[in-house]
């Protein structure tokens, strides 16, 4: 996706609290009429450095936490990559260069949510430089999370939008509060679902066993099934990702990593239960990493550095599953699988089983498959 | 033991020589127009075969297929300021360009593009059309282009070959290129079918490219969008050409006749998408009488006296 | 007693001036410096018609790559 907004600044912004600071106090450059001279030494995103840049001066309460957050550091991605390439080490590969070219486009500065489109969208300002306290999700969240959560939430991917969006026009920040996004807790967390985050029960406290009017809520044990298992519809997955590069203009290298799409609905075992994802059964989404997904890096490293890269870059492919817990955002009150007990029980196709695994995929997938499908309940529909 | 070794070496030399001799013969005698990365990897270095990279010069400089020479797509369809559209160079210019690259009359040219999106792929398709339209029929198109090649971990290099000047002479084949005059004439005669290879929204006339002056399509056109022709769609990759079975089903679906002798004029905005349309119809599906309208919508829409149908599908306006 | 009053008055004046300088006058001075020091940037970037031409041109440029 691509942004279409320009660098036009509205006059009312100039009179606002942030506007009164003056352009060059944040962006540097020179206050002269000649465009090239004016842009000499320009800092495009003054909020970038050290997780806050110039924002630190007034908002240190937030930036002091934000600089450690997942949105700034992309901890999750880097941990996963370093695990699957072992014993290769990231600095010995072109992964740092690839990260600079692409991964870091999703790394968020203050400005890439509150002032301008994120780098990945290649756009200009969100709203004539006005500071957006609540980032507009269709431009900011969607730019990075478009191929999964934000896309399916708004109905741009998959069969239907999420009821919270479709019926109630809720935006991402209605649930994902700034405090969650600015301050990853616990700080030691390396995967997103181990992180403090909104829970369905925050707004639906009675939708738990023993408190609910709904028989199905009471029929399952506490933390047995994630809410999405019953309330999500089919969702979008990626199957088979490979990487290449496109250099349309000298110095502007674009990373290409497309994948075939797949719509699934798969319930699996949650092998990594945590406080914020305590469920025994959860939905899983396919991660498109293949053993040869980075095969191109061998020769790309050669043309970049004069020496080919490691022959077997993803040497530790078997370490992590390619079916991973997913907070699917296609929530509906009524779904195919919650229409009756036996709409789910006994339906093998809803569960990730050994038959769903592809032999070339990691052995770690065996940790998440369901070996025994819940049987049909005879006295029920 | 020694004799056995000599025998083995002789046999290997014989096999190698056979391969070297047979490669150009096969190429000249009808190498498939659509070649796979696997095929090309097995034929790298074959004599009288020339790989042309039509991606940007920056892409070529960064890394390219071993042995490939560079001529970016912008050079094959340069912008003609006078007419306000992109047109292929004159035969004289093409002769000079292709000779510099080392193209002989006998050369088997293999064209490749970025192959990431359908639009990338259409650059290579359009170049195949241009080569065929100036008489160089011995040309193949690499399916999936640079993207598929690298996805598969195949070798790329920075080394640039020094081509020996070739002897090819470009001669325009008017049965493969339609001019504005041909298009205007066909509006009356309806001898050829107009085929619009732009997106459905452009064809229907609710969207248009910024530099195209008017909305809509040439009345009576069928619409077979480029995006449908590759497996990439709009943003998947690599943009390999769809199977013949699917293409035939789609051709029937968009209203193209089964008769492969019917005259067809393909067009789009600039002839890039239509160039791929030509390649798919002519070289993959076997339609024999296909012309590409080089000026396409960029030229046609400028003359306000010429009819354009908007808010309709072509077959309704026949 | 008089000295005490004078001291009190002096302290009040100092406090007032400090507060005024910090929150009032100082703020104004900072603001004036801020926007004035960027007058040329503002002049150009608030010309929305001109700025949007860059966006429109780049959008058309991107489209020109395609067929």
- Binned at pLDDT 50, 70 and 90, residue B288 comes out as very high
Hey, what are C37's tokens? 């020091």
Which pLDDT value is given to residue A104?
Answer: 80
| Contact assignment for B153 to A296 by CB distance below 8 Å | yes
**Residues of chain A neighbouring C65 (CB-CB closer than 8 A):** 248
pLDDT value at B24 more than 70: no
- Binned at pLDDT 50, 70 and 90, residue B74 comes out as very high
Contact B119, C66 (CB under 8 A): yes
Q: Are strands B49-53 and B139-142 parallel, antiparallel or unpaired?
A: unpaired
Which pLDDT value is given to residue C57?
Answer: 53
Which pLDDT value is given to residue B190?
Answer: 95
| Contact assignment for B150 to A244 by CB distance below 8 Å | yes
Hey, what are B120's tokens? 């990338």
Across chain B, mean pLDDT equals: 90
> Per DSSP, which regions of chain A are E strands?
235-238, 244-249, 252-256, 261-264, 267-269, 281-286, 323-325
Tell me the torsion sign for CA atoms B90, B96, B97, B102: positive
Q: What is the pLDDT of residues B54-71, one digit of tens each?
A: 999 999 999 999 999 999
Per-residue pLDDT of chain C (67 residues; tens, 9 = 90+): 555 666 666 655 565 555 444 444 434 334 445 577 899 999 999 999 888 887 655 544 443 333 3
Q: What is the pLDDT of residues A273-289, one digit of tens each?
A: 998 999 999 999 999 99
Instruction: Identify the H or E element spanning A134.
Output: none
pLDDT value at B5 more than 70: no
Closest by Cβ to B58, choosing from A248, A258, A300: A248
Q: What is the pLDDT of residues A22-34, one digit of tens each?
A: 999 999 999 999 9
Which pLDDT value is given to residue A302?
Answer: 97
Closest by Cβ to B58, choosing from A243, A247, A303: A247
Distance from CA of A15 to the nearest CA of C (A): 9
Which pLDDT value is given to residue C58?
Answer: 54
pLDDT value at A260 more than 90: no
Question: Nearest residue of A to residue B56 by CA position?
Answer: A248
Closest by Cβ to C59, choosing from B210, B271, B274: B210
User: Best-predicted range by mean pLDDT among A115-129, A252-266, B90-104, B227-241?
Assistant: B90-104
Q: How far apart are the first and last CA of chain B?
A: 78
Q: What is the pLDDT of residues B215-248, one digit of tens each?
A: 999 999 999 999 999 998 656 789 999 999 999 9
Closest by Cβ to A23, choosing from C30, C38, C48: C38
Which pLDDT value is given to residue B37?
Answer: 98
pLDDT value at B27 more than 80: no
A179: left (phi over 0), alpha (psi -120 to 50) or beta: alpha
Hey, what are A360's tokens? 């070339």
pLDDT value at A346 more than 90: yes
| Contact assignment for A300 to B232 by CB distance below 8 Å | no
Q: Which range (A313-327, B180-194, B199-213, C52-66) has the least confidence?
A: C52-66
Mean pLDDT, rounded, for A137-162: 88
Q: Which range (A49-63, A230-244, B5-19) has the least confidence?
A: B5-19
Distance from CA of C42 to the nearest CA of B (A): 29
Mean pLDDT, rounded, for B27-35: 72
Q: Which range (A234-243, B8-17, B109-118, B171-180) has the least confidence?
A: B8-17
Which pLDDT value is given to residue C13?
Answer: 58
- Binned at pLDDT 50, 70 and 90, residue A189 comes out as confident
* B122 touches C at CB < 8 Å: yes
- The 3-state DSSP class for residue B15 equals helix
> Per DSSP, which regions of chain B are E strands?
34-35, 49-53, 69-70, 79-80, 85-86, 108-112, 139-142, 177-178, 193-196, 222-223, 263-267, 289-293
pLDDT value at A319 more than 80: yes
Distances (CA, A) of B297 to A191, A319, A332, B213: 51, 54, 46, 8
- Binned at pLDDT 50, 70 and 90, residue A258 comes out as confident
| Contact assignment for C67 to B272 by CB distance below 8 Å | yes
Which pLDDT value is given to residue B211?
Answer: 92
Judged on CB neighbours under 10 Å (0-12, 13-18, 19+), A206 is exposed
Q: What is the pLDDT of residues A162-175, one digit of tens each?
A: 999 999 999 999 99
Nearest to B293 by CA among B184, B139, B209, B214: B184
- Binned at pLDDT 50, 70 and 90, residue B119 comes out as very high
Q: What ipTM was reported for this prediction?
A: 0.84
Across chain A, mean pLDDT equals: 92
Hey, what are B285's tokens? 């599906």
Using CA atoms, how far apart are residues A170 and B123, in angstroms rounded to an integer? 43
Distance from CA of A22 to the nearest CA of C (A): 4
Contact B180, A289 (CB under 8 A): no
pLDDT value at B191 more than 60: yes
Which pLDDT value is given to residue A103?
Answer: 78
């Amino acid at each position: 996706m691509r942004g279409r907004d320009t660098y036009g600044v509205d006059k009312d912004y100039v009179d606002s609290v942030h506007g009164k600071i003056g352009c060059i106090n944040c962006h540097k450059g020179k206050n002269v009429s000649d465009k090239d001279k004016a842009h000499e030494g320009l800092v495009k995103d003054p909020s970038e450095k050290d997780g806050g840049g110039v924002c630190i001066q007034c908002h240190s309460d937030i930036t002091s936490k934000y600089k450690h957050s997942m949105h700034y550091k992309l901890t999750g991605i880097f941990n996963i990559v370093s695990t699957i390439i072992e014993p290769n080490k990231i600095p010995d590969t072109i992964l740092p260069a690839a990260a600079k070219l692409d991964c870091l486009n999703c790394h968020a500065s203050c400005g890439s949510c509150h002032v301008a489109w994120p780098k990945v969208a290649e756009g200009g300002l969100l709203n004539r430089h006005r500071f957006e306290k609540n980032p507009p999700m269709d431009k900011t969240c969607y730019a990075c999370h478009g191929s999964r959560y934000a896309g399916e939430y708004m109905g741009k991917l998959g069969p239907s939008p999420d009821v919270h969006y479709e019926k109630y026009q809720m935006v991402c920040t209605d649930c994902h509060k700034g405090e969650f996004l600015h301050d990853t807790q616990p700080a030691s967390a390396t995967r997103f679902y181990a992180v403090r985050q909104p829970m369905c029960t925050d707004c639906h406290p009675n939708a738990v066993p023993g408190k609910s009017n709904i028989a199905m809520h009471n029929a399952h044990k506490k933390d047995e099934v994630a809410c999405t298992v019953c309330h999500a519809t089919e969702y979008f997955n990626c199957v088979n990702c490979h990487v290449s590069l496109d250099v349309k203009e000298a110095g502007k290298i674009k990373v290409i990593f497309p994948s075939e799409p797949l719509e699934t609905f798969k319930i699996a075992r949650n092998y990594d239960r945590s406080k914020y994802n305590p469920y025994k059964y959860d939905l899983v989404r396919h991660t498109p990493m293949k053993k040869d997904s980075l095969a191109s890096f061998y020769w790309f490293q050669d043309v970049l550095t004069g020496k080919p890269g490691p022959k077997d870059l993803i040497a530790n492919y078997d370490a992590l599953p390619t079916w991973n817990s997913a907070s699917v955002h296609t929530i509906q009150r009524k779904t195919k699988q919650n229409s009756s007990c036996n709409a789910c029980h006994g339906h093998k196709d809803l569960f990730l089983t050994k038959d769903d695994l592809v032999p070339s995929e990691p052995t770690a997938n065996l940790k998440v498959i369901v070996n025994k499908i819940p049987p049909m309940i005879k006295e029920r529909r | 033991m020694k004799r056995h070794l000599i025998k083995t070496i002789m046999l290997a030399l014989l096999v190698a020589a056979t391969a070297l001799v047979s490669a150009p013969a096969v190429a000249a005698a009808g190498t498939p127009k659509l070649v796979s990365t696997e095929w090309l990897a097995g034929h790298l270095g074959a004599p009288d075969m020339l790989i042309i990279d039509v991606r940007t010069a920056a892409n070529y400089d960064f890394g390219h297929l071993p042995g490939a020479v560079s001529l970016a797509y912008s050079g094959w369809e340069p912008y003609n300021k006078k007419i306000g559209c992109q047109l292929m160079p004159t035969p004289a210019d093409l002769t000079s360009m292709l000779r510099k690259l080392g193209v002989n009359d006998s050369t088997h040219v293999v064209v490749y593009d970025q192959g990431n999106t359908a639009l990338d792929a259409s650059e290579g398709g359009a170049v195949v059309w241009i080569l065929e339209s100036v008489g160089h029929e011995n040309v193949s198109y690499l399916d999936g282009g640079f993207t598929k090649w690298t996805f598969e971990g195949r070798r790329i290099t920075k080394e640039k070959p020094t081509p020996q000047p070739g002897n090819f002479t470009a001669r325009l084949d008017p049965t493969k290129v339609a001019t504005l005059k041909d298009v205007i004439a066909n509006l009356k005669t309806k001898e050829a079918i107009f085929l619009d290879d732009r997106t459905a929204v452009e064809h229907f006339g609710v969207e248009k490219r910024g530099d195209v002056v008017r909305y809509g399509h040439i009345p009576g056109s069928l619409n077979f969008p480029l995006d449908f022709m590759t497996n990439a769609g709009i943003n998947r990759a690599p943009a390999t050409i769809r199977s013949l079975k699917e293409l035939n089903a789609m051709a029937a679906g968009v209203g193209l006749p089964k008769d492969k002798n019917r005259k067809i004029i393909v067009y789009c905005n600039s002839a890039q998408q239509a160039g791929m349309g030509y390649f798919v119809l002519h070289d993959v599906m076997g339609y024999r009488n296909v012309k590409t309208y080089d000026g396409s919508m960029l030229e046609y829409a400028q003359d306000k006296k010429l009819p354009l149908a908007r808010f309709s599908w072509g077959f309704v306006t026949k | 007693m008089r000295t005490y009053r004078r001291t009190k008055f002096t302290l009040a004046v100092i406090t007032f001036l400090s507060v005024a300088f910090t929150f009032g006058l100082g703020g104004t001075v900072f603001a004036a410096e801020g926007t004035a020091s960027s007058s040329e940037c503002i002049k150009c970037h608030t010309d929305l018609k001109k700025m949007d031409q860059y966006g429109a041109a780049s959008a058309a440029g991107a489209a020109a790559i395609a067929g």
